[in-house]
Structure 1
């Protein structure tokens, strides 16, 4: 077993196996029509966020009272304007940038914290009880209330929204990683590395963590949907983006007073949130099914 672990071609064979696994997973994913539709929506959203200055023709925060509450398909404002005369299309596009960036930061921080706690809890029995009780404590708070509590302590801003959502994400990620570590650490190749004298850090981060990536990736994809929806919810409540920031939840909050005279002010950002959350959820579902080894290629 030691010879197999240290064989010159072992690393190459492992890389080939991972490459084949990736190709098989992508083939399965692309057979899922809903997941493909979700991927297209996500790519379009990312493109909007990156090329926002090139695909908009108005400043998203510039006011023009003379052109307020223009309807959809108006001249020079194809999604209309809000009550301050700001171009809705520009605000939707720049709102995509805010939602994706805040969501990405929140999920990344949550993954880092959750992965570290899950790895330590799953690998060290002495730490497992302590870490899981902390996780249980965080689970005792409803997610959105926990985020609101953190923001109430830190203050209202998009940075604090990202921090709050990341803390909310940590316990779920920790549970997922811990479960994977508990099963992987009993594998023969891990026992072989221990017998060869490999350090715990090397075993955890070079041999266990790469084999626990599949559930982490699925969690991260689906958590992006939750993070984007939570960002919009907190901004709607006035705890996130502050006027005149073009954030989708804040746009719904500002537009609800004009629901009867200018319904597009709430409907359009609502559709943007719905499509983005739908896209990340179906891609997450598709990845989960694609990674399942019991599925046919």
Structure 2
């Protein structure tokens, strides 16, 4: 069967048109933000430099692509049309009339649709895993830097022990398929996912312990929402089936948190050891504030700049890690449309057809570039402040 093709100009126009909800969402968010940037604090300051504007634009582009992936994609990322196997970009499906904008892969799946749906996987796992790593690192780094002594020695030893382990081997051990049949990932998840609940409970208790009317509401919301998420992630027991995660994704999640937490811990510990000598901390101690109040409400807010920058960079590292694991066939399912798996599948036939490898590679590179530009802009703003 002869396959018909459209020209390069039509491919470019087709791609731009498919992204119409993304362009609309970018305009709705970025134009008002730019106009009101003077009143938006740190976020608004990002619009004052070209680097920050580019970083925000690229990151929001992929965020909205993930949100609207079902609308942007012309095909199901797992759907196979045999005649489109290894089809070149611009191939027209005779049945639906839709175009394989970036061609077909070796299994006759639409490369463009798989790239778009791959952003959803990356945008869910990378920021969420980084967020949990921040929770673990902050919760342990605050007392280590503030109290020092034996607490610092024990926690620092554990952190250095994890950091001393070869990262690639660590991820291989935690993400290898055989681990899924053991209680190790679920045990680690059960420990790590407790940290956000503990963190926010202590945060609200130290702030509102003298205002029980507000305290009970906040603690109740923390325990209900936290318990719901915890049950869904660790025990797959969410009755509404909203919060759930596949075993292979849980392995990656736990591996990222386990490997990233010590780095966050060391950053927080160093910041606390510096900030705790400031006058406003001494003033809080003079007022008789509790140590955890001082750590959470006096020290942590003043350490947010470096932590925000580190979070942006760490999401980028996690994105590269997901691509690396997918490339080696670890973690996610073989049919997953994530960018790393797509690059791996395309690389096997790279000498024959290069077009299936380019879109996921460029997508991965551009998203990490956007995060790095965002981190650079945030670093500049934090130095000015």
TM-score (norm. length: structure 1): 0.87
Q: What is the CA–CA distance in structure 2 between the aligned matches of 1:140 and 1:113, rounded to whole Å? A: 18
Matches of residues 63-82 of structure 1 in structure 2 within 5 Å? Answer: 63-75=80-92, 76-82=99-105
Q: Which residue of 1 aligns with 2:349?
A: 258
Report the alpha carbon displacement of residue 24 of structure 1 after superposing the two structures with TM: 6.2
> Cα 1:79–1:289, aligned 2, differ >3 Å: closer, same or farther?
same
Q: Which residue of 2 aligns with 1:9?
A: none
Is the CA contact 1:144–1:230 (under 8 Å) kept in the aligned structure 2?
no
Aligned positions, number: 275
1:220 matches 2:311: yes
How well do the aligned residues superpose, as a CA RMSD in angstroms? 2.0
Q: Which residue of 2 aligns with 1:61?
A: 78
Q: Which residue of 2 aligns with 1:282?
A: 373
Report the alpha carbon displacement of residue 73 of structure 1 after superposing the two structures with TM: 2.2
Is the CA contact 1:122–1:178 (under 8 Å) kept in the aligned structure 2?
yes
Q: Which residue of 2 aligns with 1:23?
A: 41
Q: What is the CA–CA distance in structure 2 between the aligned matches of 1:21 and 1:206, rounded to whole Å? A: 24
Give CA deviations for 1:168-218 in whole Å, capped at 9, x if unaligned: 111111111111111211222222222222112211111111111111100
Q: What is the CA–CA distance in structure 1 between the aligned matches of 2:293 and 2:143, rounded to whole Å? A: 13
Q: What is the CA–CA distance in structure 2 between the aligned matches of 1:25 and 1:272, rounded to whole Å? A: 24
Q: What is the CA–CA distance in structure 2 between the aligned matches of 1:195 and 1:291, rounded to whole Å? A: 29
Q: What is the CA–CA distance in structure 2 between the aligned matches of 1:25 and 1:241, rounded to whole Å? A: 34
Q: Which residue of 2 aligns with 1:293?
A: 384
Q: Which residue of 1 aligns with 2:268?
A: 177
User: Which consecutive residues of structure 2, in runs of 5 or more, have no partner in the other structure?
Assistant: 1-36, 93-98, 181-246
Is the CA contact 2:130–2:311 (under 8 Å) kept in the aligned structure 1?
yes
Matches of residues 143-182 of structure 1 in structure 2 within 5 Å? Answer: 143-152=167-176, 154-155=179-180, 157-182=248-273
Report the alpha carbon displacement of residue 245 of structure 1 after superposing the two structures with TM: 1.2
Aligned to 1:223, the other structure's residue is in SS state: helix
Q: What is the CA–CA distance in structure 2 between the aligned matches of 1:252 and 1:25, rounded to whole Å? A: 34
Is the CA contact 1:258–1:265 (under 8 Å) kept in the aligned structure 2?
no
Out of 42, 62, 65, the residue aligned to residue 48 of structure 1 is: 65
1:199 matches 2:290: yes
1:133 matches 2:157: yes
Aligned to 1:168, the other structure's residue is in SS state: helix
Q: What is the CA–CA distance in structure 1 between the aligned matches of 2:292 and 2:355, rounded to whole Å? A: 54
Give CA deviations for 1:125-174 in whole Å, capped at 9, x if unaligned: 12111111111111212333322222237338122112111211111111
TM-score (norm. length: structure 2): 0.68
Q: What is the CA–CA distance in structure 2 between the aligned matches of 1:291 and 1:230, rounded to whole Å? A: 27
Give CA deviations for 1:236-273 in whole Å, capped at 9, x if unaligned: 11112112111110011111122122211112211111
Q: Which residue of 1 aligns with 2:132?
A: 109
Q: What is the CA–CA distance in structure 2 between the aligned matches of 1:174 and 1:21, rounded to whole Å? A: 33
Q: Which residue of 2 aligns with 1:8?
A: none
Which is further off, 142-151 or 202-211? 142-151
Is the CA contact 1:102–1:159 (under 8 Å) kept in the aligned structure 2?
no
Which is further off, 30-39 or 92-101? 30-39
Matches of residues 86-105 of structure 1 in structure 2 within 5 Å? Answer: 86-105=109-128
Q: Which residue of 1 aligns with 2:28?
A: none
Q: Which residue of 2 aligns with 1:33?
A: 50
> Cα 1:25–1:99, aligned 2, differ >3 Å: closer, same or farther?
closer
Q: What is the CA–CA distance in structure 1 between the aligned matches of 2:171 and 2:344, rounded to whole Å? A: 19
Q: What is the CA–CA distance in structure 2 between the aligned matches of 1:109 and 1:179, rounded to whole Å? A: 20
Report the alpha carbon displacement of residue 35 of structure 1 after superposing the two structures with TM: 3.1
Is the CA contact 1:111–1:173 (under 8 Å) kept in the aligned structure 2?
yes
User: Which consecutive residues of structure 1, in runs of 5 or more, have no partner in the other structure?
Assistant: 1-18
